[in-house]
């Protein structure tokens, strides 16, 4: 059972990370900064419980807020650049964050142990769960509390005016601004929201992992963050979940292939993008499903 709880917890982090990239992708942008926000959330929340003795909930919220603040800050220069330039700019942000943590030294001694970010040696001793005797079921439940809250919030947002605005910006910026949508507000809020969720994911991850090393928060993590919604599809919040399942099932499900698994991994991504270029759950699929669920006569009025 322990194994499945741990797996569920890991899925939780990945889904949150995917959702944080999803909200930015809705506005038609690719952000590689999610790994940076994740790292900032992780280090901040870790420092809050391990170094300053905070309880877990405020620490996790602090991590999320730090992510949001940096999302906001990155969002502004991001207004000047779009598309591929934004990919590179946000990639630079993630790498800068990583370099800062590579050089940051801020440790305290507790008994015979050194706790805190120790530059290249990593951040040891985020043992809140352990000290308070949490079981792996409790950890999984606590993580999924946040995952479900974010999923619900995003699902509601998708069905509200805010979601329509974000999608409109993603479809066609010129058309969106000509019907009175404030592009600046839409993009910066998407970035801030993405930062918030990524920071939250990082904060939860830090306590699960108990040890952080800057190497984990590089280009690879940033690529996975955008890969979840791109493979899973951006038609609905279920898209990033489908993406996480696709990758996770591939990683664990192909284990019987041994070394060859990693080879197939890349090939399957390429094949998947050729079969479903807009992702597994794309806008068209969501519309078709919605049409199935809706009462039949309505379609007659649709004309074509």
- Please give the residue ranges that form the binding site for another protein (CB under 8 A): 25, 30, 77, 80-85, 87-89, 91-93, 95-96, 99-100, 102-103, 120, 218-220, 223, 226-227, 230-231, 259-260, 262-263, 265-270, 272-274, 277-278
How many helices and strands, by DSSP H and E, does the chain display? 14, 3
Rounded to a whole number of angstroms, the minimum distance from the CB of residue 112 to another protein is 28
Pick between residue 275 and residue 300 the one whose CB is nearest to another protein.
275
DSSP states along 5-50: HHHHHHHHHHHHHHHHHHHHHHTT---STHHHHHHHHHHHHHHHHH
Rounded to a whole number of angstroms, the minimum distance from the CB of residue 205 to another protein is 21
Report the distance separating Cα 154 and Cα 149, nearest Å.
9
Rounded to a whole number of angstroms, the minimum distance from the CB of residue 99 to another protein is 4
Pick between residue 103 and residue 138 the one whose CB is nearest to another protein.
103
Residues in Cβ contact with 230 at an 8 Å cutoff, skipping those fewer than 6 apart: 25, 243, 279
Q: Quick check: 39 and 156 in contact, CB under 8 A?
A: no
CA-based nearest residue to 221, from 36, 28, 66 = 36
Report the distance separating Cα 34 and Cα 18, nearest Å.
9
Rounded to a whole number of angstroms, the minimum distance from the CB of residue 272 to another protein is 8
Rounded to a whole number of angstroms, the minimum distance from the CB of residue 294 to another protein is 27
Rounded to a whole number of angstroms, the minimum distance from the CB of residue 144 to another protein is 27
Coarse DSSP helix, strand, coil percentages of the chain, rounded to the nearest 5 percent: 75, 5, 20
Pick between residue 97 and residue 140 the one whose CB is nearest to another protein.
97
Helix (H) / strand (E) element for 114: namely strand 113-117
Pick between residue 259 and residue 304 the one whose CB is nearest to another protein.
259
Rounded to a whole number of angstroms, the minimum distance from the CB of residue 95 to another protein is 5
Sign of the CA dihedral with 79 first, then 81, 83, and 88 last: negative
Rounded to a whole number of angstroms, the minimum distance from the CB of residue 210 to another protein is 25
CA-based nearest residue to 247, from 272, 222, 275 = 272
Residue 214 is classified by DSSP as: G
Pick between residue 2 and residue 215 the one whose CB is nearest to another protein.
215
Pick between residue 6 and residue 269 the one whose CB is nearest to another protein.
269
Pick between residue 270 and residue 296 the one whose CB is nearest to another protein.
270
Pick between residue 122 and residue 218 the one whose CB is nearest to another protein.
218
Residues in Cβ contact with 276 at an 8 Å cutoff, skipping those fewer than 6 apart: 233, 282
């Amino acid at each position: 059972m322990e194994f499945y709880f741990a797996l569920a917890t890991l899925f939780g982090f990945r889904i949150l990370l995917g959702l944080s990239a999803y909200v930015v992708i809705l506005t038609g942008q690719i952000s590689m900064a999610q790994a940076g926000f994740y790292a900032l959330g992780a280090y901040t929340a870790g420092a809050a419980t391990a170094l300053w003795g905070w309880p877990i909930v405020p620490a996790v919220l602090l991590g999320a807020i730090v992510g949001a603040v940096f999302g906001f800050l990155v969002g502004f220069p991001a207004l000047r650049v779009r598309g591929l330039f934004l990919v590179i700019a946000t990639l630079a942000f993630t790498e800068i964050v990583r370099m800062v943590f590579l050089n940051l030294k801020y440790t305290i001694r507790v008994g015979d142990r050194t706790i805190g970010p120790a530059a290249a040696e990593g951040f040891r001793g985020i043992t809140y769960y352990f000290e308070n005797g949490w079981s792996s079921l409790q950890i999984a439940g606590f993580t999924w509390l946040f995952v479900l809250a974010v999923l619900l919030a995003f699902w509601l947002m998708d069905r509200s005016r805010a979601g329509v605005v974000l999608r409109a910006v993603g479809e066609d910026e010129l058309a969106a601004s000509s019907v009175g949508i404030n592009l600046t507000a839409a993009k910066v809020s998407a970035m801030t929201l993405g930062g918030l969720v990524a920071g939250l994911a990082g904060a939860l991850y830090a306590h699960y992992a108990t040890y952080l090393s800057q190497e984990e928060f590089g280009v690879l993590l940033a690529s996975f963050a955008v890969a979840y919604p791109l493979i899973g599809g951006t038609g609905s919040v279920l898209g990033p979940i489908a993406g996480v399942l696709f990758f996770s099932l591939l990683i664990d499900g192909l284990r019987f292939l041994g070394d060859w698994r990693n080879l197939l991994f890349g090939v399957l991504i390429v094949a998947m993008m050729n079969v479903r270029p807009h992702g597994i759950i794309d806008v068209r699929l969501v519309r078709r499903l919605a049409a199935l669920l809706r009462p039949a006569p309505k379609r007659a009025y649709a004309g074509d």
